[in-house]
């Protein structure tokens, strides 16, 4: 987990999760990030942050400070985030979640997964890059 996610002096958001979602192209990871970022978290008890990282830079780092919960689902090693100007560093969309309780974290991530599933389905059915990648296999 990156240091800024763990750096929470008041302990208000002790539960955290990092999700890494791989995409076949930078363009698709950027499109997914833009589509998902439109919907803000409904609860002030949950915080979410998006970034893109290189496929080889996705890391498993699980640390916990102050007795909080921490779960990381990832592949690879190292960490590199994208810039705010929309420049991608890779094909992996990384989502950092922080919440006050495990229940709030679970509810937020379940909702996020529903949105992600819809975006992936639309990409699979309509996007040219995805169709070209499937035909190449």
Nearest-angstrom CA–CA distance, 48 and 92: 16
Q: What domains can you pick out in the chain, each with its CATH number?
A: 3-136 (3.30.310.50)
Q: What is the pLDDT of residue 10?
A: 54
Nearest-angstrom CA–CA distance, 66 and 73: 21
Computed over every residue of the chain, the mean pLDDT equals: 75
Query: Is there a contact between 52 and 42 (Cβ–Cβ < 8 Å)?
Result: no
Is pTM beyond 0.85 here?
no
Tokens encoding 131: 């169709």
CA dihedral 39, 44, 12, 79 (to 10 degrees): 10
- By residue count, the chain amounts to 137
* CB half-sphere exposure, 52, CA atoms < 13 A: 25
Q: What is the pLDDT of residue 137?
A: 62
pLDDT beneath 70: ranges in the chain: 1-10, 58-90, 129-137
- Residues 37-72 pLDDT 10s: 999 999 999 999 999 888 877 654 433 334 444 444
């Amino acid at each position: 987990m990156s240091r800024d996610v763990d750096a929470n002096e008041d302990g208000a958001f002790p539960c955290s999760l990092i999700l890494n979602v791989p995409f076949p192209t930078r363009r698709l990871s950027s499109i997914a990030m833009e589509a998902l970022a439109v919907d803000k978290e409904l609860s002030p008890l949950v915080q979410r942050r998006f970034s893109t990282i290189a496929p080889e830079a996705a890391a498993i780092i699980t640390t916990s400070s102050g007795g909080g919960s921490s779960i990381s689902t990832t592949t690879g090693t190292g960490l590199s985030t994208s810039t705010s100007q929309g420049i991608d560093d890779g094909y992996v969309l990384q989502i950092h979640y922080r919440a006050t309780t495990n229940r709030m974290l679970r509810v937020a991530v379940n909702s996020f997964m529903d949105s992600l599933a819809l975006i992936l389905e639309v990409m699979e059915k309509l996007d040219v890059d995805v169709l070209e990648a499937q035909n190449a296999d």
